[in-house]
Amino acid sequence: MLHIEEKQDSIDLKTAIELFDRLADMEDLAFGYKRDGCYARAHIMCNTIFESGVIPKKAWAKEGSNGGFLNFHPPKSELIQWSWHVAPVIPVNISNDKTIDMIFDPAIFDGPATSEEWSKAISTDVDKVHIVNSTEIATGFRGNYTKGTSIDLDTNDEAKRTLEGYKKLQDEGQRSVLPSQTRQQAIEEHQVPENGKTWISENVEHNEPNDVLPDQSRFTAIVKPTDKNNRIPISSDRIKELGTYIPFK
């Protein structure tokens, strides 16, 4: 298991890929259910990163380029819209004299991503991505766990329960994610694997979606993640608070 003896503020590229791969293959984090749960995944990943000897940050985004929803179109899957999104961050030494904040989001990418890559993937502007220490509250948010709630003594158990429910909703098999610049660089320099045990990298182009929430009467929310059938109509304000919506089918 990857472990760094002393807590570090930054790591090299090879170590970053090794740590990313460890996080990406944590099956309990339900990366295959992308519609919700980013906050729980980010919390558990930050704990794992810290236990590995690295001090993590978090990247937060709460609106798309046009001020509406964040749009993410995974390879071989339908469009997902979020009202906000969060993922862990680690400063990575990409050369002898350059260290940059890299976003660790295994639900989207095959490796650590730059703020530019991440913001493009979720259809927002890089200046709308806020990177802060993992326990700080980002600008425009009211909490450091979800958009409106902060970490407390019950957060670890709550995050695990949330993801246990979403594991039952995710697709079976390897998930498809987008390629990252760091993975390509690491493949060339360090001979790291191209794909992981639980994911495969695919570069797929999509048409740009409209950054508008459709008629809310067509949408529902899952109230209890463990029960696929427990669905009720939800208001647009509540959708914004939850950070996701699920089309009625």
Which class would CATH give 11-208? alpha beta
Label residue 40 exposed, middle or buried (CB < 10 Å: 0-12, 13-18, 19+): buried
Q: Which residues in 175-184 are b (16+ Cβ under 10 Å) and which e?
A: bbbbbbbbbe
Chain position carrying tokens 């976003």:
103
Top pLDDT among 184 and 69 is at 69
- 120-158 pLDDT, tens digit each: 999 999 999 999 999 999 999 999 999 999 999 999 999
Residue 77: per-residue pLDDT: 81
Residue 2: per-residue pLDDT: 52
Domain ranges of the chain: 11-208
Residue 175: per-residue pLDDT: 86
| Model confidence at 207: pLDDT above 70 | no
Residue 139: per-residue pLDDT: 94
Band of residue 198 on the pLDDT scale cut at 50, 70, 90? confident
Neighbours of 241 (CB within 10 A): 14
Top pLDDT among 236 and 138 is at 138
Least confident of 50-59, 109-118, 149-158, 193-202: 193-202
Gap between the Cα atoms of 23 and 217, Å rounded: 37
Band of residue 6 on the pLDDT scale cut at 50, 70, 90? low
Residue 44: per-residue pLDDT: 98
- 38-60 pLDDT, tens digit each: 999 999 999 999 999 999 999 99
Backbone angles phi, psi at 192, to 5 degrees: -80, 160
